[in-house]
């Protein structure tokens, strides 16, 4: 922490930590709510899901969205530290000592932070780490699904189109007679977590949507069958 105590990232962390310490000391009820929600936030599978969870959490707290966001960010940093590497049991003490030495927290806050980090290490990480490791394995090395959205629209079905060079007056006079029906189309946006591009836009008719639903359902059934097979063969 002290190696880059003047960097932008370190300054931002110090600001977040200061807000977190104030909340944790002054709002014990908010502290309990944040700690209870922390596993779900750390295991969220997309930025939009993370944002929604934090906004819902902030709505239940008295500290306000900004303080809750900063506190969750700091606590998630400690969770990540324990999750992504083997951390010695006394690492909580070293973390707290380092942050006091760096001036990020006050001397009289050393034990408060040490106790908090130990709580994260013993009560939160054991439930988060196995699921986080599974998510990492599922992520692999390829771009992964991040989110999606769609709109539904109706398009006119016409007997003829206006073409360049043709008489617009003739087209205008018979346009109502040329609308024979309508077609329903869904336009989709799919986002991936990495890659270039990471956003894809396309449209589908009802038949294609039905086909996609069946393909996704087939994939789900095959995954369930494979899980069952692995359970029998182990």
Going residue by residue through the chain (234 aa), what tens digit of pLDDT does each one get? 444 445 677 788 888 998 999 998 889 899 999 999 999 988 887 778 889 999 999 999 999 999 999 999 999 988 888 887 665 656 777 778 888 887 888 888 888 888 888 888 888 888 888 888 887 777 777 888 878 999 999 988 887 777 888 888 877 877 778 888 889 999 999 998 788 888 999 999 999 999 999 999 999 999 999 999 988 876
Torsion of CA 33, 37, 38, 41, to 10 degrees: -140
- DSSP bridge pairs for 186: 152, 204
Can you say whether the dihedral through the CA atoms of 29, 35, 40, 45 is positive or negative? positive
Q: At what angle do helices 91-102 and 110-119 cross, to 10 degrees?
A: 140
Which backbone phi and psi does 116 adopt, to 5 degrees?
-65, -45
Global pTM reads: 0.57
Give the count of beta carbons closer than 10 Å to the beta carbon of residue 162.
13
Tokens read off for 10: 């370190």
Looking at residue 6, its pLDDT comes to 52
- Please list, residue by residue across 48-83, b when 16 or more beta carbons sit within 10 angstroms of its beta carbon and e when fewer do: eebeebbeebbeebebeeebbbbbbbbbbebbebbb
Looking at residue 61, its pLDDT comes to 93
Looking at residue 4, its pLDDT comes to 46
């Amino acid at each position: 922490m002290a190696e880059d105590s003047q960097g932008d990232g370190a300054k931002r962390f110090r600001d977040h930590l200061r807000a977190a310490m104030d909340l944790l000391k002054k709002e014990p009820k908010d502290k309990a709510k944040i700690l209870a929600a922390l596993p779900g936030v750390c295991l969220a599978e997309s930025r939009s899901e993370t944002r929604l969870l934090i906004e819902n959490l902030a709505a239940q707290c008295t500290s306000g969205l900004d303080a809750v966001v900063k506190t969750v960010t700091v606590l998630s940093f400690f969770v990540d530290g324990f999750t992504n590497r083997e951390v010695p049991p006394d690492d909580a003490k070293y973390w707290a000592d380092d942050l006091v030495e760096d001036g990020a927290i006050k001397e009289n806050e050393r034990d408060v932070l040490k106790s908090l980090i130990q709580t994260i290490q013993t009560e939160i990480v054991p439930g988060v780490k196995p699921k986080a490791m599974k998510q990492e394995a599922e992520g692999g090395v390829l771009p992964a699904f991040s989110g999606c959205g769609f709109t539904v629209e109706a398009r006119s079905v016409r007997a003829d189109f206006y073409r360049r060079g043709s008489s617009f007056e003739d087209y205008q006079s018979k346009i109502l007679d040329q609308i024979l029906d309508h077609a329903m189309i869904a336009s989709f946006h799919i986002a991936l977590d990495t890659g270039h591009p990471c956003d894809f836009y396309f449209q589908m008719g009802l038949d294609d949507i039905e086909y996609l639903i069946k393909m996704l359902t087939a994939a789900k059934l095959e995954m369930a069958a494979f899980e069952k097979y692995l359970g029998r063969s182990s």
